[in-house]
A and B are shown apart, each in its own frame.
Chain A
Amino acid sequence: MKPAPFEYAAPKTIAEALDILGQNDLDEVKLMAGGQSLMPLLNMRLARPSLVLDLNHVEGLDGIREESSGLRVGAMTTKRVLEDSDLVRSQYPLLWESTVAIGHAPIRNRGTVGGSMVQADPASEYPAAALAFDMEFVVMSSAGERVIQAEDFFVTYLTTSIEPGEILTEIRIPRLPPGTGWGFQELARRHGDFAIVGALATVRVESGLCCDPRIVLFGAADRAIRVPAGEACLEGAPPSEASLTVMGDAVFDAVEDPLSDVHASAEYRRDLARVLSKRAMSEAMSRAS
């Protein structure tokens, strides 16, 4: 299990990286971030680039910056940095929970935020968090910069709307409105495994009624998805067990065609979507103030 031959480049600046991309057949180049998804694929020869373009030496791609509207996280920031950040833990607890649910400590030490987003594994926590927060993705290419909204970013299984030749440089993470309660639930065969299904929920409770409820699922479709039908059931409803049941059933109906594999049948995933979205939303309700 050894990688096929490739060449290697480690540019120091974005400009240099874009330059290298410009000089090569884009289908033959693979960008390498933390390598925690790419390296297994290289080792198994399932990815066979002729050039690996390592982003680890590119300046200015990592770190967390706080602004009034939210966070700006460099694409190459490792999950460990988010996990260790008091700011993230105290002000963005849903992001923190999503972070520590990813794999294991050594994976988070090296795996990056950007890498998880671009990998777009349907069972991954981060794309779901992106939908929960309405994150924005800043992407650079030789043509300049563009910003992609989370809802447009994840296309399907392992595919995003990033084009070959583009580099994700930054992720903008808006702060959730004050008073927003949140919940995070996932079911995996073992602690730290990719989830079978997971759910993120946010909601505010105003005058005793649910306001702006949001439900995001991962592992339930070909990508992370929001469930508007479930959200609609809750808007303006009291935060009660009865509302949750109605919401759960709506989620169940909305998740039409989940993946089926050795760990979970489609019908099981569908029911888990119901169960976990209810549990996550129930947590969110109890945290909303």
Chain B
Amino acid sequence: MAVRIPNTLNELPASQPRFVGRGIRRVEDASLLTGRTPFIDDVVLPQMLHCAILKSPFAHARISSIDTKEAEALPGVVAVLTGEDVLRWSYPAQSAPEGWGSHCMATDVTRFVGEPVAAVAATSRYVAEDAIELIFVDYEPLEAVADPFEAMNSDSPLVMEDQGSNVMMDRVFNWGEVDQVFSDAEHVVREKFRWHRMGANPTETFGCIAEWSPLDLSITLRGSIQSPSMFALGRASTFGLPPNKVNVISHPHGGSFGGKGGSRGSDITCMLSRKADGRPVKWIEDRIEYLTSGGSQAWDRHYEAAIAVDADGIVQGLDVQLVDDIGATGDMYGAICAAKPLAAFTGPYTIQAARYDLKLVATNKLPSGPYRGMGPPPHFFVLEQLMDRAARLRGEDPSEFRRKNFIRSDQFPYTIPSGNEYDSGNYGEVLDRVLELSDYTEMRANQVKAREEGRLVGVGVASAIEPGVFDWNAYAIVGMQGTGVPEGATVGIDVMGGVTVRVGFALEGQGQYTLVSQLVSDFFGVVPEAVQVVQLDTQSAPPSFGPGGSRLGVSITGAVLGACEKIKEKMIRVVASLMQCEPEQVRLLDGKFGVEGVPGAEMTVPEVAGTMLARSDLLPPDVDPAPVATHVWTAAGRTEPDEEGRAKSYLTAAHAVHVVQVEVDRATGMVEIQRYCLADDCGTRLNPATVEGQTDGSVAQGIGAALLEEYAYDEDAQPLTTSFMDYLLPTVFEVPEIEKVAVVTPSPFTPLGAKGCGEGAIHTTPAAIMCAINDALLPLGVQTTEVPASPRRLWKLIQEAQS
């Protein structure tokens, strides 16, 4: 049945939406606020054991021997797992690029500090940790490589010997007449940039409970798992099982931001359970494990980039060379972060030609993974610094320079050189609104005064695109296969008018269950309290990917509305038959089915549901009597990538402009954010309060990225930031009040016109802060090109400028 999903709020069967579009209270909160929501470490299963994992202290070493006898003899220890078991029972993980996956545990050589080398299941975590201290490993240390440029040298130690090289991928993509626009250019601005490793750090680390069923060779895996169906596929592949033999039960989790990780720990606990005759084995990653060997690290990037600007100040070309240090293996999928910029390579600008020279390099660091925004945040940091430099070269205000390079609102849908299509936007309006909000002119005037007093005050204006509703085809260049990412929901109505919605993903903070209740409430004229959202495991759920790639809000809206539409169609036929009229005459509005032209002929939704459930004998013979429907939504019109990686990938393109004022202390290099203003346009706001929440949180993460967060390693690839004393997350003192204003340009292509907005501000925030810092440093004649702009770095620059 072809289903038409409303593209605007007006198309909902409500005279006035009462819930969608409003910042209503969240249905998930009461349980969270009272401490009742079951996070994975709150779950206890009968006979459950606890896992601790022994990690490699060396970045690169050969394991000559492992002695587990004493550990096995410790009272309370039930199973000990080593590389030998792992070789017997599992395959190397899938990876991007292909062939760079490893086993969940080192089998002969360790390739990064923190790589598992053995694991224990015992009656408590305390005992398990005692036991791993009784495992004795003989290591033969090997030379490690921590620098991707060294790793590319022919005499470098090899991270994966079989590969014969540390270069995972080396390709140049040309989109348009790049050489031409650069040779025709009036100005070419070129610079090197460095973005240091940082990453997600949700407050809850990864955790899981695995049960291996010895009877039918199946796995039940509970955990704080962001994408349950993908995770099930991953486990099936490592164990050579059919995917339907792996049942993943995701639990509500304490944030994820793409960086939950957990595949190694899950595989280890599955095999420990197997060794322990199927007893459930729990592993809760501790914070130090998360920081050193979890899904925590992303974006370790060395850039050299240039833009070509014509005589009118229009940017015609963008040339980006990226050396991305992926770390030891490709199985945590850090590589897709390098592919994602294709979805918005040229940002909000009309740049017509672009080149991407991409090298993915293996080193003996923790394999990198995804993080909120995936890859564009560093990319936009680079682009926006170049934009500022070009504006300065031409003596133009950075905001006006951006404005004249913006894609105009009449140019949408707009195809960018790297192939993606932007759905809609009104970039000039977004800029106007934020300039107004920040009182930009006055900000600049204050800056002049501050400079006269010798203070280093700077204003940054940065603009970026947030690609929304991801598609696998966006990552084709690093080897990800396929097009289309499904999200399904099953909606059912009971005789009392209660609506139950079954979904395949767990809560992780974005308020998706609230969104589902809002949609259903307006569709069927009920209240959110009457809507029950139920999460199913992967063996029972409709096809689902879950949160990720700024997709779930839009996708679940499509799925839920699709299912509601299907129920509505069934009910219309039931009502028409009962009222003896044509289905075309029946309308659903505010929870009641009425018959056009017959006043008073009405049935409520529960009445129709009750009739369907109780009196199938009264229904037309070809109507399914269940007031239940499932709809699986996928983004329409996505295309196969061409040879240059070009595809219609992400469905939506949200846009934002941020204006930030900072002051740099010239004696200490400390940065203070004095004002933070932003305007953004993510289409229809289905729940403005949750959208704002995503924005605030994403600004905070962007502030962390720009100023605080960094995974440092020494030359031997030993991690130096292994606790929260050294990996610094922003606190309430570092995040200022975030002043926001919204512009709404609905998407013509999506359910209710909403755009992906979950990843949000981190696309723009680091760029904006770095622009502001560089603006502040202008009087000294120096510029920073390194993220994070930590005080020691800025101090050094300032020292150099003053000497």
The answer on direct contact between A and B (beta carbons under 8 Å) is: yes
Q: A44-B288, A268-B795, A271-B795 given as contacts; is B731 within 8 A of A194 (CB)?
A: no
B667 — which chain A residues lie within 8 A by C-beta? 275
Report A248 CB to chain B, min CB distance, Å: 10
In the complex, whether A5 has a CB less than 8 A from a CB of chain B is yes
B-contacting 9-mer, from A84-92, A185-193, A200-208: A185-193
In the complex, whether A262 has a CB less than 8 A from a CB of chain B is yes
Main secondary structure of the interface of A (DSSP, over half): loop
* Of listed A5, A263, A275, residue having the most chain B CB within 10 A: A263
Question: Chain A 1-16 against B: per-residue CB contact (8 Å), 1 yes, 0 no?
Answer: 1111100000000000
Residue from A1, A4, A261, A263 in contact with B286 in the complex, judged by beta carbons closer than 8 Å: A1
Report B577 CB to chain A, min CB distance, Å: 65
B712 — which chain A residues lie within 8 A by C-beta? 262
- A1–B287 contact, CB under 8 A? yes
Within 8 A of B (CB), among A260-289: 261-265, 268, 271-272, 275-276
- B726–A262 contact, CB under 8 A? yes
In the complex, whether A45 has a CB less than 8 A from a CB of chain B is yes
Q: How long is the Cα–Cα vector from A276 to B795 in the complex, in angstroms?
A: 14
- B733–A192 contact, CB under 8 A? yes
Question: Chain B 780-794 against A: per-residue CB contact (8 Å), 1 yes, 0 no?
Answer: 000000000011100
- B733–A189 contact, CB under 8 A? no
In the complex, whether B311 has a CB less than 8 A from a CB of chain A is no
- A4–B792 contact, CB under 8 A? no
Q: How long is the Cα–Cα vector from A16 to B419 in the complex, in angstroms?
A: 78
- B792–A190 contact, CB under 8 A? no
Q: A190-B733, A192-B731 given as contacts; is B720 within 8 A of A262 (CB)?
A: yes
A187 — which chain B residues lie within 8 A by C-beta? 668, 670, 791
- B126–A2 contact, CB under 8 A? yes
Q: A190-B728, A275-B668 given as contacts; is B130 within 8 A of A4 (CB)?
A: yes
In the complex, whether B721 has a CB less than 8 A from a CB of chain A is yes
A272 — which chain B residues lie within 8 A by C-beta? 668
Q: How many residues of B contact A (CB 8 A)?
A: 31
Q: A1-B287, A262-B720, A272-B668 given as contacts; is B731 within 8 A of A190 (CB)?
A: yes
Question: Chain A 190-219 against B: per-residue CB contact (8 Å), 1 yes, 0 no?
Answer: 111110100000000000000000000000
Q: How long is the Cα–Cα vector from A191 to B287 in the complex, in angstroms?
A: 21
Residue on A with the closest CB to B796?
A: A268
A264 — which chain B residues lie within 8 A by C-beta? 791-792
- A2–B129 contact, CB under 8 A? yes
Q: A4-B130, A262-B712 given as contacts; is B734 within 8 A of A190 (CB)?
A: yes
B726 — which chain A residues lie within 8 A by C-beta? 262-263
Q: How long is the Cα–Cα vector from A201 to B756 in the complex, in angstroms?
A: 54
Residue on A with the closest CB to B731?
A: A190
Within 8 A of B (CB), among A1-38: 1-5
Which residues of B does A touch, CB under 8 Å?
125-126, 129-130, 133, 286-289, 667-670, 708, 710, 712, 720-721, 725-726, 728, 730-731, 733-734, 790-792, 795-796, 799
24 pairs of residues in contact across A and B, judged by CB atoms under 8 Å: A1-B286, A1-B287, A2-B125, A2-B126, A4-B129, A4-B130, A45-B129, A45-B133, A187-B668, A187-B670, A189-B790, A190-B728, A190-B734, A191-B731, A192-B731, A192-B733, A193-B728, A262-B720, A263-B790, A264-B791, A268-B669, A268-B792, A268-B795, A276-B668
Which residues of A does B touch, CB under 8 Å?
1-5, 44-45, 187, 189-194, 196, 261-265, 268, 271-272, 275-276
Besides A189-B790, A190-B733, 4 other CB < 8 A contacts? Answer: A3-B126, A44-B288, A192-B733, A268-B669
